[in-house]
Amino acid sequence: MKKDRFGRARVLSTAELDLLLEALPENHRVLATLLRRTAARVSEGLQLKWRYVADGYVLLTAPTTKGGKKTRSVPIHPQLAAELAAWKQVVNPENDPDQWVFPGRNPGEHLTRRGFDHALRKAASELGFGGISTHSFRRSFLTASSANGVPLRALQAISGHSDLGVLSRYLEVSDQAKNDAVMAGA
């Protein structure tokens, strides 16, 4: 588990994710929902413009991705679609495609990683959740999807990992899953 910025970000259950999102201010909650439902890195979410939020998918463009080499399209979960539609009415009623999805305090700037991280750590602390970081949403999505039988190649396409070995480090295996594996073995 992550401690003082060392180690891996904590994987959260669905109930913990719900509580954490409820504790965040609106602009941070919508970003956290995006990260939760797309396995995007926080930098990818922060740099998202409305032109890349289409009907049914979010386009994470190469310049915003780690390594800057691969654009990927991630389907939008219905809950995220509803939140983004409501959020757009608040921050982009003029429907400007070049507007940041998560605008910052200053005109023309997006919300900062530091601002989001601060709000996230404050909410996590109030809930008594340790080991939380912006990467917790990504790890939680990938772990839950894997536990629910989603093929690794599908997760790789969503997460943008170029290597299955790197992807596997994101996946936490529960004690119950290990027990089930032992019991199923010959």
Tens digits of residue pLDDT in 19-57: 999 999 998 999 999 999 999 999 999 999 999 999 899
Confidence band, pLDDT 50/70/90 cuts, at residue 86: very high
Which domain covers residue 159, as residue numbers?
A: 14-184
Retrieve residue 135's tokens.
């990467």
Can you give the pLDDT at residue 68? Answer: 79
Please report, for the domain that includes residue 97, its CATH number.
Answer: 1.10.443.10
State whether residue 110 is helix, strand or coil. strand
As a residue count, the chain comes to 186
Q: What is the pTM of this model?
A: 0.87
CA-to-CA separations, 130 to 16, 67, 87, in angstroms, rounded: 12, 29, 29
Residue 71 φ/ψ region, left for φ over 0, alpha for ψ in the -120 to 50 degree band, beta for the rest: beta
Q: What's the total number of domains in the chain? A: 1
The 10 Å CB-count burial string (b at 16+, else e) for 113-131 is: eebbeebbeebbeeeebee
Residue 8 lies in a domain: no
In a domain, 154, yes or no: yes
